[in-house]
Amino acid sequence: MATKAEPTTELAGQPATEEHVVIFRLADEYYALDIQTVQEIVRMQTITSIPGSDLWVEGITNLRGRVVPVIDLRKRCGVDAGEYSTETRIVVVSSANGMVGLIVDAVSEVMRIPGEQVEPPSSIVSVPENTYLRGIAKLDERLVSLMDLEGVLPAALEDDLAYAASRAA
Amino acid sequence: MATILVVDDAAFMRMRMSKILSEAGYQVVQAENGLEAVEKYKSERPDAVLMDITMPEMDGLTALKEIKSHDPAARVAMVTALGQQQIVLEAVKSGAKDFLVKPCEGDRVLAAVSKLCA
Amino acid sequence: MASTKGQRLQFDLDDDDLKLFCEEADEQIELLDTSLVQLEGEPDPDLVQQIFRAAHTLKGSSATIGHKKMASLTHAMETVLDAVRQGRRRPTSDVVDALLAGLDALRVLADEVVTCIDSGIETARLEADLHAVLESHDEIEEAAPAEASGVAYRLDPEQVEAALAGMANGTSLYFLEIAIAAECQLPSIRSFQALQEIDALGQVLATWPERDQVEAGAGEFSLACFLLSSQSEEQLQAAIQAVTDVQDVHTRSVAQEDVDQPLAPASQPVAASAGAPGRPQLMLVEDGAPADAARGPSRKATQSVRIDVERLDGLMNLVGELVIDRTRLQQIREQLSAVLKDANLTELTENFEETTSHLARVTDELQEQIMRSRMLPVRSVLTRLPRLVRDVAAKCGKKVELVTAGEETELDRSVIEEISDPLVHILRNAVDHGIETPEERRAAGKPETGLVTVTAWNQETYIYLSVKDDGKGIDTATLRRKVAEKGLMSREAAESASEEQAIQWIFLPGLSTAKQISDVSGRGVGMDIVRTNIERLNGQITLHSTPGRGSEVIIQLPLTLATTKALMVVANATVYAIPLVSVTEALADHEADIHTINGRKTLRLRQRLLPMIDLARALGDGRPRQMEAGRFVVAARHGERQVAFMVDRLLGEQDVVVKSLGDLVGNRKGLTGATILGDGTLGLIVDTASLVSEQAALATPA
């Protein structure tokens, strides 16, 4: 299929550890996702909530004829969720469970981060459930958390299933 | 390079034959039944024809006769399976130059075609 | 015999070939599957020809990829079919059995091409059976053995005259011996071709075998002849060598004084090729049928292209988008007309209106056409049934005739895929439990052979499938006893229920009326599962039965699963689609006869009391109320159960395109999917089957 992302490729002559990422903001924190997982970035659009979903499962939305579930990353990551603004975006990613939209406060840039600037997450912060962080990059004055997409999502799936099971019981 | 008309109702056999022939540099035209073969023969003027026998719409023998009546010099080889001896014989009597027995190995096909085109 | 099971196999084909091979093999196997059972008795010659051709094609392609087992088995099947085709063997049941057994093995062998792993299937036995079937009634005349070699060749006096006359005119007399290559598969035809060449070279005086024999296809690996020709020996050799598979041409010039002398065959290699060691023992199936018999039946070949289902789904998605844009455009048009009416731009707005309405028509048409391209005749399901009935009937020791009708009825491929299992189950039931044994039938004054009819038809946007048998009908006495025994209801209630009601208990979970769980109908899968599956597809299943006369099961399904007709409602600011098939009534609150019974709101509708359920809440919507619930009531049913959903607003009926909620959200209880609304936002499709059962069960505690 044409839309399928190519497997990660490394350009010749560049260090293999370089990270090519999309950087986005949740409240005043910066996060990054591997650009290979990002399908597109769209403006905030109408989201239909699904009754009984977890708080941070915002609902589903229509992405050019496809029904795509949307997660509010701010709620998922425990960041204060303010109002949506004109900068609010849905980052559509391709995950093992299909396409998923992630609501973020703003998308700031796409960049390459040299591997030596990335440190394991435990060295700087110790978040108890940081399953979705795979590293922290120091860029000038900013700290950017490298997010592990599948780490953000499987938990969502499991929680949801657990929820569904509790309802069914 | 010569143009060969491959006639077979089974797409797999057509593809197989076409592959063998085009890899050897022949131009290939395909038809999936006798009727289409006759039409293609008239429109494409192939140098030789590889004609399957058992086909829907119009069988290979009838198609051979049609083609021969249209062009007595037509160079047609029948492609047959065991068990069709009488039909092949009839075809040879009706002007088929040669025949090939399925399964058709590549070199036999090429030998037959180069002989037809000679 | 050491098993080769599990060994890796290698076939001579690449990925492209593989796909094509599999598609075609599937097609031919399918064709054999559906038509072999019709072979028995007095088959239609066209059908026989079609079956023969399917086997023949399979043989050709399997041999080409080097699948020896498959080629060999198909050859054996083809041989039998050829005998049938030529009327040399009547297609009795042993013939059909042997062919069906072969067909089953063919499936496995075709799979091997994909898996490249030896399934270990043994075909020698099957081939022997096929061969035996042919032997048992073998009426084939043995082809006369080819002219024995070693005989001296000699012209008769008349021919001697002709030879001498020719030689007097300056032509030479030659004795030619032609050997056909041992690997040649149709040597008699090569002989004939050689003879054709020789004819062109001069005057042929005598041939061995004789000319008519050669022309009749009796030639073998050698040919000898006397020829009067003005050509040189080299020229003769070259001309005859041009015939494919001519291995050797031996020429001898015959002197005038030797014309009447017998000639011994040249010792090498001609003599060796006839009957000497090393000659391949090729089994040739003599095909004595006139050429016309090989002509295909006048089957109308439909021009078709195979399209990936995924691609079709993609097209459907795109069209769905177009439909939404069209709706949007129409809304904009209305707004524009309102705004521009005063601005004296009538020409512009008219143009715009024309264009949008044209776009609307085209879009609708496109949607319709794509929908149609997903439609398949139900035949593909029905044609599997004769084999099934035949097998089941044989196992149960019953005689059953199956009649199918409405094969051309079309339905969406998604439905076809889903309908097969329930249909098979119902049919098994009909044969296994419905139809009586021949003895029972005779005792009941019925013909020994039971009749099962499967009919398909369209009505509005639904397809109906009926399975009807002339068997003994549902045994309600047993059902009543079972229901009470299993504690599903009291003995009194079970006894006092009407026949109509009792018949419907067949759909209750955990009831099997067969006295013994038979090998045929299997364990555990009952009519309750069938009903659940049908209802999951937004379908309905009904059952009618008359004791001693038989039963009829009717399945009603939407034509497609891609779209469904639904009643659109709003509950707590969310749009829901309730499949119309389950909606019995929709009415405004103030029209409804609402009571409070045991503290529960209850709707009284047509002498029934329906528990009233807040739809949004039942689905788990815990958000604050955006509007007072209960302005409208939608009565919905699932089987015998009914509930009334309370909603805020009714939006009307609509065809909705069903979309999955996606893996992440998963199969959420109470919802079957989502649909795109006219304004591009999403509505949720209610799973009435599960919601009604759940809520009805909650409302009526046992």
Q: For C143-171, how does the pLDDT look when each residue is reduced to its tens digit (9 = 90+)? A: 333 333 445 678 888 888 888 888 888 88
Q: Is C552 on the interface with B (CB under 8 A)?
A: no
Query: Percent of chain B scored above 70 by pLDDT?
Result: 98
- Residue C515 banded pLDDT, cuts 50, 70, 90: very low
Residue-level pLDDT at A76? 80
Residue-level pLDDT at C512? 57
CB A90 within 8 A of CB A102: yes
Query: Percent of chain C scored above 70 by pLDDT?
Result: 83
Mutate to test the interface with C, among B6, B13, B14, B16 (most CBs of C within 10 A): B16
CA distance linking residue C155 with residue C104, whole number of Å: 57
Residue-level pLDDT at C322? 74
- Residue C266 banded pLDDT, cuts 50, 70, 90: low
Whether A164 sits inside 8 A of C661 (CB atoms) is no
Compute the mean pLDDT over every residue in chain C, rounded to the nearest whole number: 78
Burial class (CB in 10 A: 0-12, 13-18, 19+), C305: exposed
Residue-level pLDDT at B1? 76
Is ipTM over 0.90?
Answer: no
Q: Is C676 on the interface with A (CB under 8 A)?
A: yes
Chains C and A in direct contact, meaning 3 or more beta-carbon pairs closer than 8 angstroms: yes
- At residue C653, φ and ψ (nearest 5 deg) are -85, 150
CA distance linking residue C341 with residue C336, whole number of Å: 8
User: Which one has a higher pLDDT value, C145 or B2?
Assistant: B2
- Residue C505 banded pLDDT, cuts 50, 70, 90: confident
Q: Does an H or E element contain C53, and which?
A: helix C45-64
What fold does the segment set C310-373 form as a domain? Helix Hairpins (1.10.287)
Residue B7: strand, helix, or coil:
strand
Mutate to test the interface with C, among A46, A67, A167 (most CBs of C within 10 A): A67
User: Which one has a higher pLDDT value, C650 or B81?
Assistant: C650
CB B111 within 8 A of CB C312: no
Closest chain C C-alpha to A121 CA, distance in angstroms: 27
Query: Percent of chain A scored above 90 by pLDDT?
Result: 14
Nearest CB neighbour to C665, from listed A46, A60, A65: A60
Residue-level pLDDT at C12? 77
CB B18 within 8 A of CB B28: yes
CA distance linking residue C658 with residue C344, whole number of Å: 43
pLDDT digits (tens, 9 = 90+) for C175-198: 888 888 877 777 888 888 888 888
Closest chain B C-alpha to C48 CA, distance in angstroms: 13
Q: Give the distance from CA B56 to its chain's centroid.
A: 15
- At residue B110, φ and ψ (nearest 5 deg) are -65, -40
Chain C residues whose beta carbon lies within 8 Å of the beta carbon of residue B84: 287, 294
Residues of A with CB under 8 A from a CB of C: 46, 48-53, 57, 60-62, 64-69, 71, 95, 97-100, 153, 156-157, 160-161, 164, 167-168
Whether C60 sits inside 8 A of B89 (CB atoms) is no
Provide the number of CB pairs (under 8 Å) joining chain B to chain C.
116
Closest chain B C-alpha to C189 CA, distance in angstroms: 6
Whether B89 sits inside 8 A of C185 (CB atoms) is no
Residues in CB range of C439: below 8 A, 6 or more apart:
none
Residue-level pLDDT at C30? 86
Sign of torsion, CA C218 C219 C224 C225?
positive
Report if pTM > 0.90.
no
Q: Answer whether the bond into residue B103 is a cis peptide, omega within 30°.
A: yes
User: Which one has a higher pLDDT value, C449 or A78?
Assistant: C449
CA distance linking residue B61 with residue B5, whole number of Å: 15
Whether B85 sits inside 8 A of C71 (CB atoms) is no
pLDDT digits (tens, 9 = 90+) for C1-16: 456 777 778 787 777 7
Chain B residues whose beta carbon lies within 8 Å of the beta carbon of residue C295: 58-59, 62
Q: Is C684 on the interface with A (CB under 8 A)?
A: yes
Task: Confirm or reject CATH 3.40.50.1820 for domain C563-699, answering yes or no.
Answer: no
Which residue type sits at B112? Answer: A
CB C130 within 8 A of CB C77: yes
- Least-confidence region, from A16-25, A36-45, B17-26, C145-154: C145-154
What fold does the segment set A19-168 form as a domain? OB fold (Dihydrolipoamide Acetyltransferase, E2P) (2.40.50)
Residue that the structure tokens 């199956």 belong to:
C402
CA distance to A49, C424, C431, C507, per residue, from C520 (Å): 47, 11, 9, 19
Nearest CB neighbour to B54, from listed C196, C286, C294: C294
User: Residue ranges of the domains in chain C?
Assistant: 15-136, 157-273, 310-373, 377-475+513-558, 563-699
CA distance linking residue A74 with residue A80, whole number of Å: 7
Closest chain A C-alpha to C316 CA, distance in angstroms: 9
- Tokens matching residue B4: 């060969």
**Which DSSP letter does residue C117 get?**
B
Residues in CB range of C499: below 8 A, 6 or more apart:
C476
- Tokens matching residue C327: 């709706």
C49, β-bridge pairs: none
C593, β-bridge pairs: C604
pLDDT digits (tens, 9 = 90+) for C90-135: 888 888 888 888 898 888 888 888 888 888 888 888 888 888 887 7
- Residue A9 banded pLDDT, cuts 50, 70, 90: very low
Number of domains, chain B: 1
CB C81 within 8 A of CB C73: no
- Residue B10 banded pLDDT, cuts 50, 70, 90: confident
Whether A69 sits inside 8 A of C574 (CB atoms) is no
Residues in CB range of C552: below 8 A, 6 or more apart:
C466, C467, C468, C469, C543, C544, C545
Between helices C187-201 and C233-241, what is the axis angle to 10°? 140
In this complex, the chains that touch A, judged by 3 or more CB pairs closer than 8 A, are C
CA distance linking residue A7 with residue A36, whole number of Å: 8
- Residue C667 banded pLDDT, cuts 50, 70, 90: low
- At residue C348, φ and ψ (nearest 5 deg) are -60, -50
CA distance linking residue C674 with residue C664, whole number of Å: 14
User: Which one has a higher pLDDT value, A4 or C151?
Assistant: C151
CATH classification of the domain holding B26 = 3.40.50.2300
Sign of torsion, CA C96 C102 C105 C107?
negative
Write out residues 33-92 of B within 8 Å (CB-CB) of C.
33, 53-59, 61-62, 80-90, 92
Closest chain C C-alpha to B75 CA, distance in angstroms: 14
Mutate to test the interface with C, among B57, B75, B86, B109 (most CBs of C within 10 A): B86
User: Which one has a higher pLDDT value, C411 or C173?
Assistant: C173
Residue-level pLDDT at C291? 34
pLDDT at C369 > cutoff 90? no
- For the segment B12-38, the average pLDDT, to the nearest whole number, is 88
Write out residues 650-669 of C within 8 Å (CB-CB) of A.
659-669
Residue C30: strand, helix, or coil:
helix
Residues in CB range of C381: below 8 A, 6 or more apart:
C416, C419, C420, C423
What fold does the segment set C15-136 form as a domain? Four Helix Bundle (Hemerythrin (Met), subunit A) (1.20.120)
For residue C62, the chain B residue with the least C-alpha distance is: B103
pLDDT digits (tens, 9 = 90+) for C308-358: 666 777 777 777 767 767 777 777 777 777 776 666 666 677 777 777 777
Nearest to C296, CA basis, from C47, C113, C86, C476 = C47
- Tokens matching residue C455: 């009919």
Closest chain C C-alpha to A19 CA, distance in angstroms: 27
C157-273 has which CATH code? 3.30.70.1110
User: Residue ranges of the domains in chain A?
Assistant: 19-168
- Tokens matching residue C291: 């050429």
Written in H, E and C, the secondary structure of A71-87 is: EEHHHHCCCCCCCCCCC
For residue C321, the chain A residue with the least C-alpha distance is: A65
CB C661 within 8 A of CB A60: yes
The count of other CB atoms within 10 Å of the CB of residue C291 is: 19
Buried b (16+ CB within 10 A) or exposed e, C630-639: bebbbbbbbb
User: Which one has a higher pLDDT value, C278 or C561?
Assistant: C561
Whether B102 sits inside 8 A of C64 (CB atoms) is yes
Between helices C68-85 and C93-115, what is the axis angle to 10°? 150
Sign of torsion, CA B11 B16 B17 B19?
positive
- Least-confidence region, from B24-33, B67-76, C50-59, C296-305: C296-305
- Residue A129 banded pLDDT, cuts 50, 70, 90: low
Residue C296, CB half-sphere, CA atoms under 13 Å: how many?
25
Whether A60 sits inside 8 A of C321 (CB atoms) is no
Q: Is B102 on the interface with C (CB under 8 A)?
A: yes
C591, β-bridge pairs: none
- For the segment C242-264, the average pLDDT, to the nearest whole number, is 83
Alpha-carbon Rg of chain C, whole angstroms? 38
- Least-confidence region, from A77-91, A112-126, C527-541: A112-126
CATH number for domain C377-475+513-558, candidates 3.40.640.10, 3.30.565.10, 3.40.50.300, 2.40.30.40 = 3.30.565.10
- What is the full DSSP assignment across C215-278? HTT---SEEEEEEEESS-HHHHHHHHHTSTTEEEEEEEEEPGGGTTS-BPPPTTTHHHHTTSTT
Range of the domain at B76: 3-117
Q: Is B101 on the interface with C (CB under 8 A)?
A: yes
pLDDT digits (tens, 9 = 90+) for C350-368: 777 777 777 777 777 777 7
- At residue C286, φ and ψ (nearest 5 deg) are -70, 130
CB B33 within 8 A of CB B56: yes
Chain C residues whose beta carbon lies within 8 Å of the beta carbon of residue A46: 680-682
Chains C and B in direct contact, meaning 3 or more beta-carbon pairs closer than 8 angstroms: yes
